Amino acid sequence: MKFQFCHNNINVLDLEKSIKFYKDALGFEEVERKEASDGSFIIVFLSDGVTGRSLELTWLRDKKEAYNLGDNEIHMAVRTADVDAAFRHHSEMGCVVYVNEAMKLYFIADPDGYWTEILPLKK
């Protein structure tokens, strides 16, 4: 039996704010949207336009309090050809939350507090 990776899901409190963050921070674009007929939820899929994998953002109408992210050890990771330029960009956005200079990686946090690890492309 073989499986192929499809997407990761996170739940967000402010869908438009989260879409803007992932567009501005990582260049992700909305590729699909599903809305419940009763308005109880909206699901938006974001794509990097390269890998075929996606990030699913789920907004729930009745959710008002922040999501419990535990110790925030669960995260997604992305790679970039110019990690130094990316770091400058994310620093200007004010979303860098942890830096590991020895490993040349860092983490950013989205509006709900989810972390994304930023790594250089493998050579």
Q: What is the pLDDT of residues 34-76, one digit of tens each?
A: 999 999 999 999 999 999 999 999 999 999 999 999 887 889 9
> Which secondary-structure segment (H or E) carries 51?
none
Helices (H) and strands (E) in the chain, counts: 2, 8
In a domain, 45, yes or no: yes
In a domain, 49, yes or no: yes
In a domain, 69, yes or no: no
In a domain, 1, yes or no: no
Q: What is the mean pLDDT of residues 18-30?
A: 98
In a domain, 50, yes or no: yes
Q: How many structural domains are present in the chain?
A: 1
pLDDT at position 73 is 82
Q: Give the CATH number of the domain where residue 94 resides.
A: 3.10.180.10
Confidence of residue 81 (pLDDT cuts 50, 70, 90): very high
Domain that holds residue 26: 7-62+74-120
Strand order in the sheet with 76-80: 76-80, 115-120, 105-109, 96-100
